[in-house]
A and B are shown apart, each in its own frame.
Chain A
Amino acid sequence: DIVMTQSPDSLAVSLGERATINCKSSQSVLYSSNNKNYLAWYQQKPGQPPKLLIYWASTRESGVPDRFSGSGSGTDFTLTISSLQAEDVAVYYCQQYYTTPFTFGPGTKVDIK
């Protein structure tokens, strides 16, 4: 199974400042036939289901604010919130969908400093 790790476990950032979350997979999730990384990022607020933010490691889902961006390839990935807003307080998960089981990272809690 592909093991997903995230760092940090939690972070507190001032409003308007940058938040950076890292995700690492135990093996590459780059699909060589189409050169796409099968890595997604989700945001989950309390009492709500997860919401897809980013897929293919760096493609923003429709309707997601452009302050959210994803980067990385192979085994190392990053989610960046360029200017943290109050509504961004949530837990963020990465997930690989390269091969089953489609494992999630443990999550990173983002709060306001």
Chain B
Amino acid sequence: EVQLVESGGGLVQPGGSLKLSCAASGFTFSVSAMHWVRQASGKGLEWVGRIRSKANSYATAYAASVKGRFTISRDDSKNTAYLQMNSLKTEDTAVYYCTRHASRDGYQGGMDVWGQGTTVTVSS
């Protein structure tokens, strides 16, 4: 079964750090671009960032709202992607989803596999 499982969420004070993990199974993780998407309570989806595969030099990209504070990485030997979050702000409070960018006929499709999400609460 193709699956993504996020972990590492919790309560953190403003200015603090947290590292989320996304464990993948059921597909060839190493060739997949992986993204993080967040959703504040009652709000819409916000793309956070992505990391491409080794073949694409593990290139990363970030939303302006998190650039310089968040870092995405991956360990293909563990089939796991990570989101390191530093200098957290109250507005970073959200459910964080890990998702796979699909490849269809050699071209990018949409994001076809999603985890259930992990909740991050930034509060004093």
State the A residues within 8 Å of B (CB): 1, 34, 36, 38, 40-42, 44, 49-52, 54-56, 59, 61, 91, 93, 95, 97, 100-107
Note all chain B residues with C-beta closer than 8 A to A41. 110
CB atoms of A107 and B63 under 8 A apart: no
A-B contact count (CB 8 A): 74
What is the CA–CA distance of A113 and B99 in the complex, to the nearest angstrom?
A: 33
Contacts of B115 in A (CB 8 A): 49
Contacts of B97 in A (CB 8 A): 49-50
Distance from A44 Cβ to chain B, minimum over Cβ atoms (Å): 8
CB neighbours of A42 from chain B (8 A): 45, 110-111
CB neighbours (8 Å) of B114 from chain A are 49-51
Query: In whole Å, how far is B60's beta carbon from the nearest beta carbon of chain A?
Result: 9
A106 to B62 CA separation, bound complex (whole angstroms): 19
Chain B residues bordering chain A, tally (CB within 8 A): 26
Q: Please tell me if B55 contacts chain A, counting CB pairs below 8 Å.
A: no
How many Å lie between the Cα of A38 and that of B109 in the bound state?
7
Give the distance in Å from the alpha carbon of A107 to the alpha carbon of B45 in the complex.
8
A97 B63 Cβ-Cβ under 8 A: no
Which DSSP category, helix, strand, loop or mixed, fits chain B's interface?
strand
Residue of A nearest to B115 (CB): A49
A52, B61: Cα distance in complex, Å: 22
Q: How far is the CA of A1 from the CA of B108 in the complex (A)?
A: 19
The answer to whether A38 touches B50 (Cβ under 8 A) is: no
B110 close to A55 (CB less than 8 A): yes
Point out the residues of chain B lying under 8 angstroms from A54, CB to CB. 110
A56 with B109: in contact, given A49-B116, A102-B50 (CB under 8 Å)? yes
User: 5 A-B residue contacts at CB 8 Å?
Assistant: A38-B108, A49-B116, A97-B108, A100-B50, A107-B45
- Please, which residues of chain B bring their CB within 8 A of the CB of A104? 37, 44-47
With a cutoff of 8 Å between Cβ atoms, the chain B residues found around residue A91 in the complex are 44
